[in-house]
Structure 1
Amino acid sequence: MTAVKVIKVLGTSEESWEEAAREAVREASETVQEIHGVNVENWTAKVEGGEIIEYRATSEIAFPVEH
């Protein structure tokens, strides 16, 4: 049986929500091995002057753990 751990990671981008999700996976992969999946839980953005200045993707990252 494989045990799986899920962590939440916030990715940000000045370009798009999709790039923010990619950034979340990139950030997690710096310290987590064998990422098997990502679920984008929430899309949000920071707005200034009526314009989106930062896209944010709160993502759940899944990976196997030894037990």
Structure 2
Amino acid sequence: MTAVKIIKVLGTSEESWEDAAEQAVMEASKSVDDISGIEIEDWTANVTDDAITEYKATVEIAFPVHDSS
């Protein structure tokens, strides 16, 4: 049986929610090995003068827990 750990990461982008999610995965992959899946928990944005200025994606990132023995 494989144990899986899940962490929550907030990604941001000035381009899109999809890019914000990709940024979250990219940043997490710098310190987490073997990412096996993600779930988008929430999409939010900052708005200034009636326009979206920053997209945000809250992403749950799953990866296996490796036996250290």
TM range (shorter): over 0.9
Instruction: Measure, in 2, the Cα distance between the counterparts of 1:25 and 1:66.
Output: 20
Instruction: Measure, in 1, the Cα distance between the counterparts of 2:23 and 2:4.
Output: 21
Instruction: Measure, in 1, the Cα distance between the counterparts of 2:62 and 2:23.
Output: 15
Equivalences for residues 1-67 of structure 1 within 5 A: 1-67=1-67
Residue 26 of structure 1: SS of its match in structure 2? helix
Unaligned runs of 5+ in 2: none
- Identity rate, percent: 64
1:12-36 per-position Cα deviation (integer Å, ceiling 9, x unaligned): 0000000000000001000000000
Structure with higher Rg: it is 2
Residue 20 of structure 2: SS of its match in structure 1? helix
Q: Shift of residue 43 of structure 1?
A: 0.3
Larger strand fraction of residues: 1
**Number of residue-to-residue matches in the alignment:** 67
Residue 66 of structure 1: SS of its match in structure 2? coil
Unaligned runs of 5+ in 1: none
Q: Shift of residue 66 of structure 1?
A: 2.1
TM-score when scaled to structure 1? 0.97
Letter in 2 for 1:7: I
